[in-house]
Amino acid sequence: MAKGETDLPEPASDTDVLRQTTASSAGLSESAEDAVVASADSAAAVVSRETQVDTSTRSAAGTGGGERADNGSMASVSRETEPTDAERAADALANVAREAHEDVADLPVAGADTPLAQAVAEDARKRITLSGRELPRPAQTRVLTVANQKGGVGKTTTTVNVAAALAQAGATVLVIDLDPQGNASTALGIEHHAEVPSIYDVLVDGDPMSKVVQSCPDIPGLFCAPATIDLAGAEIELVSLVARETRLQKAVTAYRNELAERGESLDYVFVDCPPSLGLLTVNAFVAASEVFIPIQCEYYALEGLSQLLRNIELIRDHLNPTLHVSTILLTMYDGRTRLSAQVAEEVRTHFPDQTLKATVPRSVRISEAPSHGQTVMTYDPNSSGALSYLEAASEMAAQNAAENSEDRS
């Protein structure tokens, strides 16, 4: 190689250009755009190096004598008038880049019709529609017992997350933890060790509700009457007490009157009761006017529902004539299985007015949240589980608006 000469980069052939163009057009929309940008950058680099070579060649020719200078000048003129292979490749790639950039928006998005993509799109719709919006408040306090005699259906999870969603939307909500396990208290970040005043003191000792109610640390407007381990023995202790079935009802009524004297009120009261029909559950049914039933989308959940409805009818006939099933929420829904769809269809066929359109999917975030002392509404508000509970809360609030409209008419 002669002194002053420089190795030129091997120019891209037309075949390579076509191969790059085809690969860019056949990929995903984002990949296509990235490939086009990369190709354009490569072309620009080739042109830059070619220009540097021309400059260095002209400089060398200028210092090598008259004849060499003339030859160098002629070579320079020739290069300036006739494009090199590298320049032609750069022009071709630039045209490809312009055409692909114009068409990249029209390229199909891979997987747009898959269940995962549809779920992502649905979550985005819910987030845009529901997030940050205040919901209509009921004309009077709604007291709901969240019940299902079958365990593991998401009863406590539904209680705390629907309550949290309503509170975040501007409502004032009280959760009464009537389950001796105290899971609702844990999920709301409420202290409930043995020394803490609890709902046990209200039921057995007759303490006022105001003595035990605590505000939840993460969500303004959300309150909880916690459960402690003492509540496990309350079933036996209540047997010998006067008016044992109505003790919770009287305590809730007295608390609402106390708030009214201070110019305050509750929009919702949720009672989370254990998965059994004992005196604690009977107290919950007598204290409420509505029953909120979470139903797991599995076959055995329907059998538990039949038994629960018979017990509700007994309570209505003998203790609380206003008690009725107002809301049913399908939980642990898996759209990939035929069983979930069949259970949902069966429930909606028998309870078309009570069953919410919202369904709560199986979600790791929902399961993780209680271990952090939070609801999923604060633990991961953008998760599919949080958005589903927010949608359920929105439907419940819409029930309020419809009932208020009927009352005015």
Q: What is the pLDDT along the chain (409 residues), one digit of tens a residue?
A: 544 444 555 555 544 544 454 444 444 444 444 544 454 455 455 445 545 545 454 444 444 444 444 444 444 444 455 666 666 666 665 565 555 444 444 444 445 555 555 555 555 555 545 556 678 899 999 999 999 887 788 899 999 999 999 999 999 999 999 999 999 999 999 998 888 999 999 999 999 999 999 999 989 999 999 999 999 899 899 999 988 999 999 999 999 999 999 999 999 999 999 888 899 999 999 999 999 999 998 877 777 788 899 999 999 999 999 999 999 999 999 888 898 999 999 999 999 999 999 999 989 999 999 999 999 999 999 999 999 999 999 999 988 655 654 444 4
Q: Which residue type sits at 147?
A: A
Tell me, what's the pLDDT at 337?
A: 87
Pairing between β-strand 268-272 and β-strand 214-215 as defined by DSSP bridges: unpaired
Query: Rounded to whole angstroms, what are the CA distances from 313 to 135, 224, 248, 254, 285?
Result: 32, 28, 20, 26, 11
Predicted local distance difference test score (pLDDT) of residue 36: 44
What strand order describes the sheet that includes 290-296?
A: 214-215, 222-225, 173-177, 268-272, 142-146, 290-296, 324-333, 355-361
Sign of CA dihedral 310, 313, 317, 318: positive
Specify whether the backbone of 111 is left (phi greater than 0), alpha (psi in -120 to 50) or beta.
left
CB atoms within 10 A of CB 88: 14
Where does residue 338 rank: exposed (0-12), middle (13-18), buried (19+ CB within 10 A)? exposed
For 56, 160, 275, 360, 392, the CA distances from 385, given in Å and listed in that order, are 65, 13, 23, 6, 11
Closest C-alpha among 294, 312, 287, 324 to residue 174: 287
> Residue 404 in 3-state DSSP?
helix
And the tokens for 131? 């997030």
Residue 105: the pLDDT is: 44
290-323 residue pLDDT tens = 999 999 988 777 777 888 999 999 999 999 999 9
> Is 325 within 8 Å of 312 (Cβ atoms)?
yes
Q: What angle do CA 151, 155, 158 make, to 5 degrees?
A: 155
pLDDT at 395: 94
- Asked if residue 267 lies in contact with residue 172, where contact means CB atoms within 8 angstroms, the answer is yes
- Measure the CA dihedral 58/62/63/67, to 10°: 120
109-153 pLDDT per residue, tens: 445 555 555 555 555 555 545 556 678 899 999 999 999 887 788
Q: Quote the CA–CA distance of 224 and 222 in Å, as a whole number.
A: 7
* Whole-prediction pTM: 0.69
Handedness of CA 196, 198, 203, 208 (dihedral sign): positive
pLDDT value of residue 132: 60
